Structure 1
């Protein structure tokens, strides 16, 4: 399908006049008529009825109109995205909400402070969705606590994160705290197994570290949050006699990614607060 034919069809349907459509498209009137005939030949139907200067869409033309608009909008968006990527080498980075909030946002700040002409997309989603996007080349780089075991992916450990079990400083001392389950990886349950009442249903399951922190007081719950947050938030208190959970952090990308050079350049900048 020649998009110029659709563009001409849309202009004629808008102006209901071949002459005015020709002026808008910077074409001759005969060229407009020829394009419409080409499109009608391809579709095997008449798209307009022509009675003197009264031009109307046929029923077939009316049906084509929304599809033509959709196709042209999609084509224009595709051209814009391809051109944008070619000009700026945009690189997409994906991670869970908890990793963005706890570790990766300060890292992005460092990148933009130290790199000129940097064009990134920060994508927030769950790990399984981001792994799928890597395979489909919709994502360039994944930051995760679990490296996918797939031959076509390259994984590089970039550090560790340390998570402590916190409660709100304002919570009354309880024998057992409810639990807010935060997304730190599918295999994180091994770190949660020693919790009192660990088999109970969490009062909240979420992917947001900041949401978790803000709800600790009203829920009288505990949750695993970055160990360094005890210095950042005065309302947090580490529950005594609970071990720190240490998790590896990986950067993951396709082995044959055409963004490997850019990815490796970014990874030269360490992520803060990693141990």
Structure 2
């Protein structure tokens, strides 16, 4: 389907006049008439009734009208998206909620400050889901504490970050209270079991670091949170007898990714995991 034919049809249906439609489209009246005949031939139906200066849509034309409007609208959106793709660079980055909330947001800010034309999609999901999306080329870059063991993937260590066992200030720090389990990677439960003396079932399991922080006082519980939050949130207190847990942070992408050049450029912008 030639979109110019639909465009001409819509203009004639709007003006109800071949001459005025020709002026609006910067065409001759004969060119407008020829386009309408082409469209009618393709559809096998007359679209307009012509009686002197009285031009009206036929029942077939009335049926076509909403579809023509939708098709032209979709075509305009498609053209805009193509132009945008040429003007900007789009990259999808995935990580768990706890990593986004704790470390990755400042990194995104740094990326945008250095590359104004950058277009990103930030995905929040469980690691298992993100690995699957990466493998199926639905995701360009994964930030995780554990690089998947797949031959087709490349990975780069971005740094290490520190987790501390926190409680709310009002809580008795001589004994660990109820525990909130926060997702910090598939192998983290092994580390937290060695650090966290209370073996009772967690009162809450979540992937959100901010949700955990907000519920510490309510539950009277404790949880492993980013070490730098001791300065950011004065209402939190670190258990002094529990040593910090050090976790790595990796960037992972497909070796033959179409975006690997951009990915390597972005990874040169350091991610601050020690603040």
Whether TM exceeds 0.5 here: the answer is yes
Which position in structure 2 is the counterpart of 1:229?
229
User: 2:167 corresponds to which residue?
Assistant: 167
1:107-143 alpha-carbon deviations (Å, 9 max, x no partner): 2333444x35451314132145544554565543222
Cα deviation, residue 226, structure 1: 0.9
Task: Give the TM-score normalised by the residue count of structure 1.
Answer: 0.79
Structure-2 residue corresponding to 1:121: 120
The structural deviation recorded for 1:76 is 2.6
Distance 1:236 1:6 in 2: 64
Q: 1:169 to 1:87 in 2, by over 3 A?
A: same
How many equivalent residue pairs? 270
Question: What is the rounded CA distance, in whole Å, between the counterparts of 1:178 and 1:57 in structure 2?
Answer: 74
Of 34-43 and 231-240, the range deviating more from structure 2: 34-43
Q: What aligned pairs does 1:127-206 form with structure 2 within 5 A after superposition?
A: 127-135=127-135, 137=137, 139-171=139-171, 177-193=177-193, 195=196, 196-200=198-202, 202-203=203-204, 205=206
Q: CA deviation at 1:271?
A: 0.9
Equivalent residue, structure 1, for 2:270? 270
2:256 is paired with a residue whose SS is coil
Indicate the structure (1 or 2) with the bigger Cα radius of gyration.
2
- Deviations for 1:23-43, whole angstroms, at most 9, x for unmatched residues? 332223333333333334434
- When residues 54 and 145 of structure 1 are mapped into structure 2, their CA distance, relative to the original with a 3 A threshold, is same
Cα RMSD of the aligned pairs, angstroms, is 3.3
With over 3 angstroms needed to count, the CA separation of the structure-2 counterparts of 1:218 and 1:258, relative to structure 1, is same
Task: After superposition, give the CA deviation of every residue in 1:224-246 in whole Å (9 maximum; x if it has no partner).
Answer: 21122112211111235445333
What is the Cα deviation at residue 57 of structure 1?
5.4
Alpha carbons of 1:72 and 1:130: their partners in 2 closer, same or farther (altered >3 Å)? farther
Contact 1:93 1:120 in 2 (8 A): no
1:12-91 → structure 2 map (5 Å cutoff): 12-46=12-46, 48-52=47-51, 53-56=54-57, 58=59, 60-91=60-91
For residues 129-161 of structure 1, give each alpha carbon's deviation from its aligned partner in whole angstroms, at most 9, with x where no partner exists.
544554565543222223233343322222223
Tell me if 1:213 matches 2:186: no
Structure 1: which 5+ residue stretches go unaligned? none
Structure 1: how far apart are the matches of 2:64 and 2:96?
42
Deviates more, 1:134-143 or 1:249-258: 134-143
Q: CA deviation at 1:71?
A: 3.5
1:259 and 2:259 aligned: yes
| Structure-2 residue corresponding to 1:101 | 101
CA distance change for structure 1 residues 246 and 173 in 2, over 3 Å: closer, same or farther?
closer
